[in-house]
Structure 1
C-alpha cells in the first residue's frame, strides 16, 4: 500500500480520503485551516494532519483544490515535492463554465508540472469523476494522462494506476500529459451535460468495451 497526502479539504478530498483509507493506505490531509484539517481527519479515524508548506509525508500527493491556487501551492512546496508523484485532479474551468483558463495548447496539469521540481512527476487523474459519485463507493472508470518517457515518469503513471485500482476503480490511460488538455475539456463537457442535457450531475463517464 502507499502513503497518500491530500492537499485540500473539499468534497473530492473527502471522497478520496475515505476510499484510500478503505484501501489500506496511510492518508495525510493538509489544509490551510488547521482546525478544519483536524476536524476532517477526525471524521475518518485514521488520517493524520500535515502542515501546509512542510514536506508532505505521502509518496503520492493529491492536489484536491481549485485550479486557481494549485500552481501557487506547488511552487510554495518547491523542493519538498522532489521524488513525489503528484496527482492533479483539478479542472481549470472558466467563470462562464464553457471553457478553460489555461494557455492555448496547454493544460492545467502541464502548468502545474512547470511549477513542480524536476524530481516530481505529475499525472492527471480524477478530473472526470464528480466527487459525490466517487463517494458512493461504486466501481468507476478514471481517465489518466501522464508522460512515460523521461526517467521515473512511467513508474509514476504505474503508481497512480495501482493506486486507482486499490480504490476499486479502473484506470484508463489516455496517453502523455499533453492529453490532460482534452481531459480538462471533457470536464467542461460533463459540467455542460449536468446543467443541460442530463439535467443532473448524478452520472459518470466510462468506457464499455463489451461487444
Structure 2
C-alpha cells in the first residue's frame, strides 16, 4: 500500500518504519505537502495541527483511510483532554470528514515500543484500532503483517474516547517518571 504520514517526528518514523518493513511505500509529509495522498493517511502530529491538515486536504481525503494517532492532551496543564468529554479527537475529525474512513490507532503506544516491537523490553507491542469500518481495520492489519507489530480490534470509533483516555494516562504517568518511555501499557492475550 501507499501510505502518507503527516509528521516526521519519533512517532511517525517509528510506525512508518513498521509499515515499510511490511513492504509498504511510506511518504512523509510536512505542512506544505502537495503530492497525491496514499491509500492510507496518518496524522502523526499534535492535535492542534490536525485542523490545518484536514482543511488543506479535505477533498483528497474523501474515500481514504485516515489514521488518527493524536492524544488531545492539554499540554499546558497535563490535566485534561481538549475534546468534549463525550467525544474524542477521532470522532471530531470524522464529523468534519464524513466521506473519509477515520481510524483511531497507535495512540496507546510510545515511539520506542513501536520501534522495538516490545513494551518494557518484554511484551509484544499491540496496536489497538477503533473504527466504524471493519474493512479499514483489516487493511491496517494487513499493511502491518511482517512488521514488529500486531493489531487488535478495539471496536467502533466510539471506543476512541477510551483509547485517548488510556493514551493520556500513559503519557502523564511517563511524564511523571512512573515508568519510562520504553515501557507503558501492554496488552497480554
State the TM-score, normalized to the length of structure 2.
Answer: 0.88
**Residue 135 of structure 1 aligns to a residue in which SS?**
helix
Matches within 5 A, 1:97-108: 97-108=78-89
Contact preservation (8 Å) 1:62, 1:87: yes
Distance 2:17 2:156 in 1: 28
CA contact (8 A) 1:6 1:30 kept: yes
Q: Quick check: 1:97–1:191 contact (8 Å CA) kept in 2?
A: no
Contact conserved, 1:85 with 1:156, CA < 8 A, in 2? Answer: yes
Equivalents in 2 of 1:21, 1:66: separation in Å? 23
Residue in structure 2 matched with residue 55 of structure 1 by the alignment:
36
Per-residue deviation, residues 19-52 of structure 1 (Å, max 9, x unmatched): 22221111111112xxxxxxxxxxxxxxxxxx62
The answer for the alignment partner of 1:46 in structure 2 is none
Greater mean deviation of Cα atoms: 7-16 or 137-146: 137-146
Of residues 164-173 and 15-24 in structure 1, the stretch that sits farther from structure 2 once superposed is: 164-173
State the Cα RMSD in Å: 1.8
| CA–CA separation in structure 1 for the residues paired with 2:28 and 2:47 | 18
Q: Distance in 2 between matches of 1:195 and 1:66?
A: 16
Deviation (angstroms), 1:197: 6.5
Q: Which gives a bigger RCO, structure 1 or 2 (Cα 8 Å, sep 6+)?
A: 2
1:82-121 correspondence runs (5 A)? 82-94=62-74, 95-118=76-99, 120-121=100-101
| 1:170, distance to aligned residue in structure 2 (A) | 1.6
Find the residue that maps to 1:62 and give its secondary structure: strand
* Pairing 1:167–2:152 present: no
Secondary structure at the counterpart of residue 155 of structure 2: coil
Match of 1:30 in 2: 29
Unpaired runs of 5+ residues, structure 2, are: 119-123
Runs of 4+ in 1 over 4 A off after TM superposition: none
Consecutive unaligned residues in structure 1, runs of 5 or more:
33-50, 148-152
Q: Does 1:190 align with 2:189?
A: no
SS in 1 for 2:11: helix
Aligned counterparts of 1:8 and 1:55: Cα–Cα separation in 2: 16
In structure 2, C-alpha distance between the alignment counterparts of 1:208 and 1:146, rounded to whole Å: 21
Q: Which has the higher strand share?
A: 2
How many residues are treated as equivalent by the alignment? 183
Note the C-alpha offset of 1:11: 0.8
Instruction: Report the structure number with the largest CA radius of gyration.
Output: 1
Task: Tell me what 1:179 maps to.
Answer: 159
Matched residue, 1:207: 187
